[in-house]
């Protein structure tokens, strides 16, 4: 449904809903409006369970171990609001953390007196082992919770989550994984990662309508975790509490099976593999065509999913936030390219491209040429 004539290279921000999924959600909205009480009150559980059954089978989660939420941010907030921290505790994450999650962690720390700390990921990232060592090496005796991304937003880096979780578990430190980008982008078996908590989106790379996400918790941690909105089913068990979080728009959840079926019909795992191959290629094209741009992860693609980012020359780092935003507007309005320029720190601005089945190689060559022209 994307507007024609635009090179849309930002599937990563909010996804893009296929027409069949849009229509399935529209149909659910019609059914809800035709019989609000029948659908919301009496059929809700059955419909949520049907969606969960498919999501769980696909991503390696038992239905009792996860609940549907509206977005990954909400899943992260549910965990952070549920846990109790005290002065002397520390919440640790990396400098690649998504800003909304950073803010939620800071809020939790401000309320509890715990300390907030970010470890800087060494750039460029040389290998999964190097990244894991840097993160695990930053864990201290005070660390109560480590929050890591499965796939980072600004740098499009796939973190070695299993390795990090193993090392942290051995030290008695719980890990919350922000998997906002992971479902549909990387092979995923949530339970086998072994983290304490995993929050993931279905509305980015799983083609679900916006508002479809989940929070998984390891069985030994579930008793303490509640939805961000506590409601009727408080005290009735982890998954049950998530089945009612106040009256809300349910059509996105009900359309999830159609979204998963869309991917299956398109080729299942082949979709992910195709997108990954294109991302590895696009990563190389951007690094080669943009003078002064630097790759930030290994060129073999071992730390990429279906997005890739390159560090732009210092000219970009010197721009103000307003200038960066206006450049993005110029890219869209004048050049008909939708692509994000992301600031990681004062010295680092990144160009991130997403690769989805509707994209073509020519679009990445074009974005490289246009951005090179902007630099001139």
Ligand X SMILES: Cc1ncc(COP(=O)(O)O)c(C=O)c1O
- Site track for ligand X across 77-116, x = CB under 6 A: ---------------------x-xx---------------
Phi-psi region of 268 (alpha: psi -120 to 50; beta: other; left: phi over 0): left
Question: How far apart are CB 153 and ligand X at their closest, in Å?
Answer: 3
Instruction: Identify which range of 83-91, 140-148, 178-186, 299-307 contacts ligand X by CB under 6 A.
Output: 178-186
Task: Name which position in 201, 222, 356, 359 contacts ligand X (CB under 6 A).
Answer: 201
C-alpha of 14 from chain center: 10
Which residue, 131 or 180, is less far from ligand X as judged by CB?
180
Assess contact for 6 and 195: CB atoms under 8 A: no
Residue 181 binds ligand X, judged by CB under 6 A: yes
Q: What is the largest CA-CA distance in the chain?
A: 62
The neighbour count for residue 87, using CB atoms within 10 Å, is 9
- Name residue 176's beta-bridge partners: 147, 197
Distance, CA of 306 to CA of 269 (rounded, Å) = 13
Task: Name which position in 17, 21, 61, 72 contacts ligand X (CB under 6 A).
Answer: 72
Residues 126-165 touching ligand X, rule: CB under 6 A, are 149, 152-153
Residues 324-363 touching ligand X, rule: CB under 6 A, are none
Residue 259 binds ligand X, judged by CB under 6 A: no
Which residue, 72 or 351, is less far from ligand X as judged by CB?
72
For the stretch 367-371, contacts whose Cβ atoms lie closer than 8 Å and that sit 24 or more positions apart, written own/partner, are 367/7, 367/9, 367/286, 367/337, 367/339, 368/285, 368/286, 368/289, 368/290, 369/289, 370/331, 370/335, 370/337, 371/290, 371/312, 371/331
Which residue, 201 or 263, is less far from ligand X as judged by CB?
201
Instruction: Identify which range of 31-39, 71-79, 258-266, 327-335 contacts ligand X by CB under 6 A.
Output: 71-79
Question: How far apart are CB 4 and ligand X at their closest, in Å?
Answer: 25
Assess contact for 262 and 22: CB atoms under 8 A: no
In the complex, the residues that contact ligand X under the rule CB under 6 A are 13, 71-73, 98, 100-101, 149, 152-153, 178, 180-181, 201
């Amino acid at each position: 449904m994307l507007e024609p004539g635009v090179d849309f290279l930002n599937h990563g921000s909010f996804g893009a809903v296929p027409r069949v999924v849009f229509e399935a959600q529209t149909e659910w909205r019609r059914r809800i409006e035709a019989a609000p009480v029948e659908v919301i009150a009496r059929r809700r559980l059955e419909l949520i369970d049907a969606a969960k059954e498919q999501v769980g089978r696909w991503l390696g989660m038992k239905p009792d171990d996860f609940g549907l939420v509206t977005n990954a941010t909400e899943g992260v907030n549910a965990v952070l609001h549920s846990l109790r921290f005290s002065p002397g505790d520390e919440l640790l994450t990396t400098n690649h953390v998504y800003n909304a999650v950073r803010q939620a962690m800071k809020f939790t720390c401000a309320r509890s007196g715990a300390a907030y700390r970010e470890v800087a990921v060494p750039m460029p990232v040389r290998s999964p082992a190097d990244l894991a060592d840097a993160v695990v090496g930053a864990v201290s005796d005070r660390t109560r919770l480590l929050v890591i991304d499965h796939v980072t937003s600004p740098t499009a880096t796939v973190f070695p989550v299993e390795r990090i979780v193993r090392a942290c578990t051995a030290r008695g430190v719980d890990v919350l994984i922000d998997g906002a980008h992971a479902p549909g982008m990387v092979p995923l078996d949530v339970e086998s990662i072994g983290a304490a908590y995993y929050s993931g989106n279905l509305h980015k790379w799983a083609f679900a309508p916006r508002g479809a996400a989940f929070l998984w918790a390891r069985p030994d941690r579930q008793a303490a975790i509640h939805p961000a909105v506590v409601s009727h089913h408080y005290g009735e068990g982890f998954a049950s509490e998530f089945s009612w979080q106040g009256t809300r728009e349910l059509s996105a959840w009900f359309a999830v099976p159609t979204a998963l079926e869309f991917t299956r019909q398109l080729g299942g795992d082949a979709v992910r593999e195709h997108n990954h191959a294109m991302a590895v290629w696009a990563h190389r094209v951007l690094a080669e065509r943009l003078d002064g741009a630097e790759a930030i992860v290994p060129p073999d693609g071992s730390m990429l999913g279906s997005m890739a980012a390159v560090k732009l020359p210092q000219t970009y780092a010197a721009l103000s936030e307003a200038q960066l935003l206006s450049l993005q507007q110029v890219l869209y309005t004048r050049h008909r390219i939708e692509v994000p320029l992301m600031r990681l720190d004062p010295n680092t601005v990144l160009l991130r491209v997403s690769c989805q089945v509707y994209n073509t190689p020519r679009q990445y060559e074009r974005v490289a040429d246009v951005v090179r022209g902007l630099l001139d």
